[in-house]
């Protein structure tokens, strides 16, 4: 099965990013495909270089960068990013900024679109 993922909440103060990450890992382990991951609203904060978590805490932005390095298309909504002062210089490697059209493409090409976080 091909899954598209939409993440709408920021890191550390909400479980959406952790739940999405764990879902993606489990899906990949079971042979499913992740068609793409789209960050929207406060979800865009998940992929910035501006995080500096303590050594004993999980590094959420690094997790996403590592998934992107495996070939998963990870997209940040440009409008949501700009509203939060996020641009190409502050996002982690293997993540790109684009428009809502990319979310539409992910949804069309997926069997299921799964949303993490409030809408």
Residue 97: C-alpha distances to residues 1, 16, 29, 82 (Å): 26, 20, 27, 10
Whether residue 97 lies in the annotated active site: no
The pLDDT of residue 118: 81
| Number of Cβ atoms within 10 Å of the Cβ of 111 | 11
pLDDT digits (tens, 9 = 90+) for 31-48: 999 999 999 999 999 999
Catalytic annotation, pick one of 5, 47, 67, 77: 77
Name the pTM for this structure: 0.95
Q: CATH top-level class for 2-116? A: alpha beta
Maximum CA extent, the chain: 39
Residue 91 DSSP class: B
The pLDDT of residue 1: 98
> What is the C-alpha to C-alpha distance for residues 79 and 62, in angstroms, rounded to an integer?
23
Domain map of the chain by residue range?
Answer: 2-116
Which regions of the chain are under pLDDT 50?
none
């Amino acid at each position: 099965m091909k899954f598209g993922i939409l993440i709408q909440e920021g890191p550390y103060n909400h479980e959406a990013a952790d739940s999405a990450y764990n879902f993606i890992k489990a899906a990949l382990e079971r042979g499913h495909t992740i068609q793409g991951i789209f960050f929207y609203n406060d979800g865009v904060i998940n992929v910035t270089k501006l995080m500096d978590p303590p050594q004993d805490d999980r590094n959420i932005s690094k997790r996403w960068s590592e998934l992107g390095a495996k070939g998963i298309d990870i997209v940040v909504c440009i409008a949501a990013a700009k509203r939060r002062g996020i641009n190409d210089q502050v996002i982690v490697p293997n993540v790109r900024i684009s428009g809502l059209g990319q979310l539409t493409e992910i949804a069309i090409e997926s069997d299921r679109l799964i949303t993490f976080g409030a809408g």
